[in-house]
Amino acid sequence: MGPLDPFDIKYRYQKAFARAGKEISNSTLMKMTKLTKGYAYAFQDLGYYVWQHSDTQVTAEDIDNVLSLFKHDLFRNAYTKIISELSPTDRQFC
């Protein structure tokens, strides 16, 4: 499965925040979109943390405030799992 389309990610974030009455600028949407790098789990996880840690206006600062939580989840729930399933030769190559 390939990466998610960045325009779709941005659109879905925009719609989700708008439905909840949360304002978000285009530059903040772009920042969130770029941080996901098209990865579905990152899209969900970042959206969750930003949602939980923002008020009626989502800012770049809100994103910065959740980056450590977001990155921790990615390593714990995704990257570590991927690496653990690699063969010793594949790990050495990586």
Residue 1 inside a domain? The answer is: no
Look up the domain containing 12 and give its range.
Answer: 6-93
| Residues contacting residue 32 through CB under 8 Å, at least 6 positions apart | 9, 10, 13, 46, 47, 50, 63
Structure confidence at residue 53 (pLDDT): 96
Residue 15 is assigned to a structural domain of this protein? yes
Global pTM exceeds 0.85: no
**What is the domain-level CATH number for residue 22?**
1.10.8
Give φ, ψ of 24 to 5 degrees. -150, 130
Tell me how many domains the chain contains: 1
In which residue ranges of the chain is pLDDT below 50?
none
The string of pLDDT tens digits covering residues 3-13 is 999 999 999 99
Distances (CA, A) of 88 to 70, 75, 76: 28, 19, 20
